[in-house]
Amino acid sequence: MAREAPLYELQGISKSFGHVEALKDVDVQVYKGEIIGLVGDNGAGKSTLIKILSGIYAADSGTIRYKENVVRINNYRDSQALGIATIYQDRALVDSVSIYRNIFMGNELLTPYRFLDKRKMRKEADYVLNESISIGIKSSKQMVGDLSGGQKQAVAIARAIYFRARLLLLDEPTNALSVKESRQVMKFVKNLREEGISSVFVTHNLLHVYTIADRFVILSHGEKVGDFKKAEITMEQLEHMIVTGRSHVN
């Protein structure tokens, strides 16, 4: 099937920690507006792959392309500049300050006299929270520490939306969430797909990932052992592959 070029493309990515080969020669393509379920057993290398895209680790070898051009991601800024936003389970929010200060931290809006433009930040934050991911947050002046786990994820996602992310990386975003909250987070990710935003979704919950993803990339001991569209694989086959690390199509 002829298809447009991938938006992001990883080619031959390898990464070792001492003698542990966390990733071996992995290729992944991400197309516009698709949700990729990145699956594999514990220690398969999923988080390492996510961290390479978000600029926390540098790959030992391999190339990253954005819109067919080779790019380098050396730090968070590079990653952000390429439209990549990482939603960490807990790491990237500050509980002791308000929602709008969280959304804009590191990217504060300033008045011409270089003071914080609090009114504008509040307005923009309220807008994204209500329009894009309405989740029952009344005011962006609320402390993040007072929010539920799902609402915190929503704030992190709101930050990504506001800064026009084109690729969301979600590493086990639903781990600490209730069933209802997980469902909400998955709904945001789906809504964003309608707006053309791609996601890479890592989770242990097979049901979640099978419900939401358009394509599955399966890692085992640092190697890619499968890459299937949803139509090509059943949930049972997917589970089998994760457990055995072998492709079901032989």
Partner 1 sequence: MSKVQKKTKHRTGNLKKVLRYKDISIVIITIALFTIFTLVNKKFLTKENLFIIVKTTPELGIIAIGMTMLIISGEFDLSVGSTFAFAPFIMASLSERMGLHPVFALIMGIIVGVGIGFINGIITTKVGIPSFITTLGTMMAWRGAVLLASAGFPQAFQRDLPVARLFAGRLSGFPVQFIWFIVFAIIMWIILENTRFGNWTYVTGGNRNASVALGIPVDRVKIINFMIIGGLAALAGSIQVFRMGSAYSNAGLGMELQAIGATVIGGTMLTGGSGTIIGTIMGTIIIFSVENIIILSGAPAFWFRTFVGVIIIVAVSAHVLIQGRRD
Kindly list the residues in this chain that would bind partner 1 in the complex (CB under 8 A).
56, 75-77, 80, 86, 88, 91-97, 101-102, 104-108, 110, 114-116, 118, 143, 145
Q: b/e map of 119-152 (b: 16 or more CB within 10 Å)?
A: eebbebbbebbeebbebebeebeeebeebbbbbb
Binding-site partner at residue 101 among partner 1, Mg ion, ligand ADP, none, CB < 5 to 8 Å by type? partner 1
Given ligand ADP, Mg ion, partner 1, none, residue 122, with its beta carbon under 5 to 8 Å by kind, binds none
Do the beta carbons of residue 184 and residue 152 sit within 8 Å? no
Least Å distance between CB 51 and ligand ADP? 7
Identify the DSSP state of 198: E
Least distance (Å) between residue 8 CB and partner 1: 20
**Cβ–Cβ < 8 Å for 7, 33:** no
The residues that touch Mg ion, with contacts defined as CB under 5 A, are 47
Q: Taking CB under 6 A as the rule, does residue 245 contact ligand ADP?
A: no
- Binding at 206: pick from partner 1, ligand ADP, Mg ion, none (beta carbon under 5-8 Å per type): none
Least gap, CB of 214 to ligand ADP (angstroms): 21
Distance CA 73, CA 76 (A): 8
d(Cα 185, Cα 171) in Å, to the nearest integer?
12
**Contact criterion met (CB below 8 Å) for 83 and 162:** no
Rounded to whole angstroms, the Cα distance separating 7 from 211 reads 23
Complex with ligand ADP: residue 101 or 208, whichever CB lies closer: 208
Q: Which is nearer to partner 1, 35 or 202 (CB)?
A: 202
Q: Where is 71: in which H helix or E strand?
A: strand 69-71
Q: Which is nearer to ligand ADP, 45 or 149 (CB)?
A: 45
Q: Residue 224: count other Cβ atoms within 10 Å of its Cβ.
A: 22
- Find the binder of ligand ADP among 33, 43, 62, 245 (CB under 6 A): 43
Assess 86 for contact with ligand ADP (CB under 6 A): no
Q: Is 182 in the site for ligand ADP (CB under 6 A)?
A: no
Residue numbers at the binding site for ligand ADP (CB under 6 A): 17, 20, 22, 40, 42-48
